[in-house]
Amino acid sequence: MERLIEAAREALKNAYAPYSKFRVGAAVLTRSGKIYTGVNVENASFGLTVCAERVAVFKAVSEGDKEIEAVAVVAESDEPVAPCGACRQVIAEFNPNATIIMATADGRRVVTANLKDLLPSPFRGDALKP
């Protein structure tokens, strides 16, 4: 868990948040033991902004590593921040029971949750089948 938080904290330095100044780093741990990091990437067209968690998940998946076990989110905030609804849904696609670790950048506060507690009823792909 410490390794994952540290990876997210290290990634946070690369956050691209010139508009909100709210820098976030994320790190995904997969069953293979690999860690993939991400940062929030903002855009002048605000709606195009992507959260750190989704960047990290997409990096893992694009490397063919889909078995997500845990996601750490580190933000420069007084209290740990939880993944937004969109990120919860994206993580749930790969593991609805993923461990979610939320921490402040200074490591003062750490909260751990099961994704199921944050998103009890994710939209399921099998709903699309005829």
- Catalytic residues, which ones? 53
**Cross-strand partners of 68:** 30
* Among the listed residues 82, 83, 78, the one whose alpha carbon sits nearest the alpha carbon of residue 107: 78
Q: Quick check: 20 binds Zn ion (CB under 5 A)?
A: no
CB atoms inside a 10 Å sphere around CB 6: 16
Q: Quick check: 29 binds Zn ion (CB under 5 A)?
A: no
Q: Cα–Cα–Cα angle for 116, 122, 126, nearest 5°?
A: 125
**Cross-strand partners of 35:** 29
Distance CA 3, CA 68 (A): 15
Could you tell me which stretch among 7-15, 30-38, 83-91, 114-122 binds Zn ion (CB under 5 A)?
A: 83-91
**Shortest spacing between CB 83 and Zn ion, in angstroms:** 5
Could you tell me which stretch among 5-13, 51-59, 100-108, 109-117 binds Zn ion (CB under 5 A)?
A: 51-59
Give the residue with the Cβ less far from Zn ion, 8 or 87: 87
Could you tell me which stretch among 25-33, 66-74, 79-87, 103-111 binds Zn ion (CB under 5 A)?
A: 79-87
The label of the residue with tokens 């939209």 reads 123
Q: Quick check: 92 binds Zn ion (CB under 5 A)?
A: no
Q: Quick check: 4 binds Zn ion (CB under 5 A)?
A: no
Q: Quick check: 51 binds Zn ion (CB under 5 A)?
A: yes
